[in-house]
Structures are given as structure tokens and as C-alpha cells.
Chain A
């Protein structure tokens, strides 16, 4: 610290100096700790393409096929034999028995088929649910929570449409420039159309609408409330997909000769009112950053799930995150939101983007959670040698 002070003194000495500009100074920045054997590292991650539910690429595909594809790809890529895996954790929202909670740090694999399971079947719940406000709020349809946020915090229809347009444009650009190629595992599936069955290789996200325009979005009718602002065009899509992330202690990764793609620096889960569930990231992100000893300014990229444009815009603005850092390759509005898959998908996309940029950098993955939670994690991409 002494040396740092002395060197800093050379660059910003007390008192005026003859000639020269004084636009150099020391800026506080975090470093989230060095590298130790107990670090939780991301070894690798892949995802399938994301398909539109019911009509898209995976409409006739069972979740286990998607799961198997990404799991196999991750292990094959790093040459790890499955018997070396310690724990396998699968996140899912709508499968029978899956429940509506998301797995946390030990989140290995995430998969969702919203084609085969519908949101409208919550399963068995106590009849007392309706008696307690917050419990009752847990089964409010998600679209209504979006409207609640838009109203409560004044997020206009125009802002939401603009945000949605941006997501589509970023995703389209990313797709055409081949940015997703590295992370997507092509899956061979069968499509049953009428009587005929054909085999298709799915390697591209089919939800992206490159031709989206503000004018087109503004014509859409609200989907959840007659005078609302959330539409089918500016919300996340109902989708199928799977993603897998391989985690471990750095010591274990090194012992097995595995690479390190990223380091998990912090994670946080917070509770928020269920009727405003979308504000989750606005509280989870600061909690995770604080844990990591870092700030918004230290982050290069934020993957904030775009469940709805109202909540996404609200969170970004509340935290003062520069828009260019948010979902640079598009988000759930354009790509789709296979519920239990999204978190792992965001990790895969985030680390691939940081790797593409080449430098050591930090990123955040965050999402809101239906029933009133927010989760966020800070990842570090360690950069080159």
C-alpha cells in the first residue's frame, strides 16, 4: 500500500504543477480476492438452442433429451468422465414435483420444456393459501406482476417496447455474427407434423425476430390486463431449452487437469414482495456485489433476465447500470425464457462473452424469481495468462 501511495503521489501531486493536464488520479476499484484452491470455478458450460414452445424447434422433444445433449457435450468437451462428477443438480420449474424454486450455487444443469408442461397447473397447494396475502400473491400470474411494476414505478409502454426492440436487435446481431456458435450444442430431434416425422438438427435460437420494429411493437395489445403495457411482443417468450454448467473447487479442477472458464466470486438470494417479484435483481445484485467487494463500475457485463420489460428496465435504472453493459447479446425477450434453464444459460452466455472480449473482467448474472425472490451472482473471467 505504501508503494501504491508513493506512485500515486507522482501522478497527482499536492498543489498545481507547471504545465501538464491533471486528469489522472487514483480510482478505488475492487479486486474480489486473488485465486485460491478453495475458489469455486466454472470449468465449462454449454446450452442447447432455445426453441419457441409448442411451435418451435423442440416442440416434440422431451426434457431428458435436451438434458442429455448438454450434459454429454460439457463432459466431452473437457474430457471428463462422468464417474468423476460429485453432484448433479437439475433446475426445473414446471416438471411434476419440480416446484417453483431455483437451485442455487450447486446449480449444475437446468432444463425446461414449456411445451409439455403448462404454467396453469400449480399442483397441490394448501387451501389456506388464499387466506394469507403474501401466500396468495405467490400464485398471481407473472404477467400481472409485470403490470404491477409498470404501474407502481411508472415504466411506460414506450420504454418497455424500446427495451424489447434493443433485445431483439442485440440477439439478431449476435446470432448472425456467429457469437452463439461456441456455446450452442446442436441437438438432433424429431418433428411430428401431421403423420410425417422428420429429423432436424437444431443449432440456432428460433425465437429471435430480427425484423422487430417499434411501430410493430406499439400495435400489439396488452396480454395480461386490458389497459396494461406488457404485451406478447415485449415480454420474454415461452420456450424450451437446456443448459449445463460444470462447477468445482479450483483444487479439484486442477487435480483433474480441467480448465477454468470462470470463477464464482459471490452469490446472493433475496426475498421481495411476490406481487412485485420482478424487482428481485434490484436487490439481489447489490447484495452479490457487496459480498464480492465490487461495484457496478467494476462489472463489464450484466446478464439480467428479461422476464418482462417493466422489471428489467426498472432494475437497470434503479441500479444505474449503463445500458451498454446489459445483455449485450440480447436477452429472454428475444432469445426466449425456458424457465429452469435460463440461469445456467445466462452463465454460459456471460462467460463466453467475457472470453470473447479477451480481458480479465467481471460479470453479473441475475434474475427475478416467481413467488418473490431475486438471485444474483458475480463471476470473474480470469483472462489470458
Chain B
């Protein structure tokens, strides 16, 4: 079943499913593809019949990423084109609880950590620095320098406390340790810009990168001389990569080529390509609560798909009819 939400005049940049409320997502959006104009932060609930807007806020500049608090179901942090991070409360339709303005250029990535009781936020900016914050966003705890290009993505390791990965326009994937405020590892992963990275949920050594060179590469941090898998198929730059929370070997990527693709990186092959989008797909997320729900986002539209299932060895042939309101059917097939 596919549900669609349209936000006219806003290009979605990032979407994240709430860790507490299974049918709730937060979405960061910008006017004019994020090039100029203002931004919006939307909190949406998927209902039986469609989609309900829980809260929506406007921001004077584009918003490029959003992350839910792991401690409080009402709290969400967004990163904006004006270099700010904002702390929002879904119960409060007014101004954000807090605005932190330290980055000197666009904040393209925000992530809330979820390991072992630590509560930290990491932000990645086009000013080439990453900053770590406590949940009140009062001021940054550390600033991490080292990248020689804009930072597109900063993601906490789900396994190792105080450790995050970053993807940059300088073509490197870097692993950072917050305690020592240092870069532990710099991998020259691509010759072109790297727009996204993510950690495998099942293996703490595995990280994926998505690049402007149209490839998705999967790395074992114990041996970074070459990737353990190179996944080719996207026709344009890869905008975001995410590992599946359900299946060890599965990850998904979205691209400027209007598709979302699913891959089995162990067997180095594509699983499924969702081709029916009509615009750049910038963001998507897996739903932890409901196995197989992917939330895709693109120009003015957010789609929910239910029933993607890549458990185990099942390959899925999906017939998605992506006209709004239509029903999709998925038939898992054994290999």
C-alpha cells in the first residue's frame, strides 16, 4: 500500500522515521531545490486513510537534514542552510526551543547518537567541520577538523560509542573518535565527491559510501585498501545510502537518476530498482517498527511503501504503481 503526501513548493531533503512512534516521520524540506528561499520542517503521521500533518514549521533558509531525539519522542533536530541547528518540540508550534549557530556554512547533516546511553548530536557542514553537541544544543562540545572539502554526511556508529563516520566532497570517508577529537581513519574512497555514508547495523566494521561517481562502495574498516563491494547501476550521483535494519547484507541507495535501489553487497548485486519517481530522490528511511516500510521523498512528495521485504535470501519483485493513492503489491519470491 502506498501513501503519498504532497508539500507544494518544497523539495524534500531528508526524512527520518520516529524511533518511538512507528507511523511518524519528520521531514526536512527546502524551497527551490534548496538553492534559494526558505525551508520547512514537517512532522507527519501515516494513518489508515492517508497522511496527517502533526506539526509544521517554517525556517528562513532551507533545511537539509533532520534527526529524531533518541531520548524524547517530541524532540527533533534539523540542520539548515544558514549554518544553524535547531531543536524543535512537536508539541510546540511556535519557535524552536533552541537555535545553535556555530557553523559558518550550510549544515548538511545532523545525527543523534543511539549507543549505550550517550546522548549526543553530531552535525556536518559545508564549512568542512563536524561538531558534536549535547542534547540541549547550548554550545558544541567539540569541533572536528580534517576534511578538505564540504562535509555532506555525519553518522554515528550504532555499535561503537563516541564514534562517527563522515563523507565529504574531498572524496574521503573519515572515521572520528569524539573523546580524542581526532580522525582515526581517512579512506580515499572515491575520486569524486562522497554524498553519503552509513554503518552496517549488523557488523561494526562495515561502512558504505555513495558518490557522485554513481557508485555505492562498501568498506571493511579493518582493510581499506579497496572496497569489499562496488555496486554499480545508478546513472547519476548517489545521494544517500542506508543499510537495512532487517537484513545483514542489504542496503539501499537513492540517486539523482530518480531511482531508489536495493542491493545485496555480499553478493555484489542489485536486488531491486524502484524507478517510478519523477524527480530527484534525496532522502529515504527504513521503518524500524514495521519491517519493510521505506519512506521515500522527492520533489514535493513523500511516499510510504509497505511490504518491501528483503529478509534472508528472499528476493523481492515489486510492482509499484507510483501514482498517488494506488495500491502496490509485492510478491516475495524465493531465489
Q: Is residue A257 contacting chain B, with contact meaning CB distance below 8 A?
A: no
Q: Is residue B150 contacting chain A, with contact meaning CB distance below 8 A?
A: yes
Segment at the B interface, from A17-25, A86-94, A187-195, A246-254: A17-25
Contact of B236 among A3, A4, A24, A385 (CB under 8 A): A24
Q: Name, among B8, B34, B81, B235, the residue most crowded by chain A CB atoms within 10 Å (CB to CB).
A: B235
> Chain B binding site: helix, strand, loop or mixed by DSSP?
loop
Q: Name, among B193, B213, B234, B257, the residue most crowded by chain A CB atoms within 10 Å (CB to CB).
A: B213
B236 to chain A, nearest CB (A): 6
Residues in A whose Cβ lies below 8 Å from that of B239: 10
B33 to chain A, nearest CB (A): 7
CA distance A24 to B256 in the complex (A): 11
B275 to chain A, nearest CB (A): 15
CA distance A21 to B236 in the complex (A): 8
Q: Is residue B107 contacting chain A, with contact meaning CB distance below 8 A?
A: no
Q: Is residue A9 contacting chain B, with contact meaning CB distance below 8 A?
A: yes
CA distance A24 to B191 in the complex (A): 20
Nearest A residue to B215 via CB reads A18
Q: Is residue A201 contacting chain B, with contact meaning CB distance below 8 A?
A: no
The digit string for A343-369, where 1 denotes a CB below 8 A from any CB of B, is 000000000000000000000000000
> Chain A binding site: helix, strand, loop or mixed by DSSP?
loop
Q: Is residue A78 contacting chain B, with contact meaning CB distance below 8 A?
A: no
CA distance A24 to B236 in the complex (A): 9
Residues in A whose Cβ lies below 8 Å from that of B232: 18-19
Q: Is residue B51 contacting chain A, with contact meaning CB distance below 8 A?
A: no
Report yes or no: B214 in contact with A19, Cβ–Cβ below 8 A: yes
Report yes or no: A19 in contact with B233, Cβ–Cβ below 8 A: yes
Contact of A9 among B33, B212, B213 (CB under 8 A): B212
Q: Is residue A105 contacting chain B, with contact meaning CB distance below 8 A?
A: no
Nearest B residue to A20 via CB reads B235
Residues in B whose Cβ lies below 8 Å from that of A11: 236-237, 256
Report yes or no: A20 in contact with B257, Cβ–Cβ below 8 A: yes
Contact of A10 among B81, B212, B233 (CB under 8 A): B212
Report yes or no: B35 in contact with A10, Cβ–Cβ below 8 A: no
CA distance A364 to B106 in the complex (A): 39
Q: Is residue B221 contacting chain A, with contact meaning CB distance below 8 A?
A: no
Q: Is residue A7 contacting chain B, with contact meaning CB distance below 8 A?
A: yes
Q: Is residue A29 contacting chain B, with contact meaning CB distance below 8 A?
A: no
Report yes or no: B192 in contact with A3, Cβ–Cβ below 8 A: no
CA distance A3 to B8 in the complex (A): 21
Report yes or no: A13 in contact with B192, Cβ–Cβ below 8 A: yes
The digit string for A18-43, where 1 denotes a CB below 8 A from any CB of B, is 11110010000000000000000000
Report yes or no: B193 in contact with A7, Cβ–Cβ below 8 A: no
Contact of B235 among A10, A13, A19 (CB under 8 A): A19
Closest 7 CB pairs of A and B: A20-B235, A10-B237, A20-B214, A13-B212, A13-B192, A17-B213, A3-B35
Using a CB–CB cutoff of 8 Å, the interface residues on chain B facing chain A are: 8, 33-36, 81, 106, 126, 150, 169, 191-193, 195, 212-215, 232-237, 239, 256-257
The 27 sampled A-B contact pairs (Cβ below 8 Å) are A3-B35, A3-B81, A4-B35, A6-B126, A6-B169, A7-B33, A7-B34, A7-B35, A9-B193, A9-B212, A10-B193, A10-B212, A10-B236, A11-B237, A13-B192, A13-B193, A13-B212, A13-B213, A17-B192, A17-B212, A17-B214, A18-B232, A19-B233, A19-B235, A20-B214, A20-B234, A20-B257
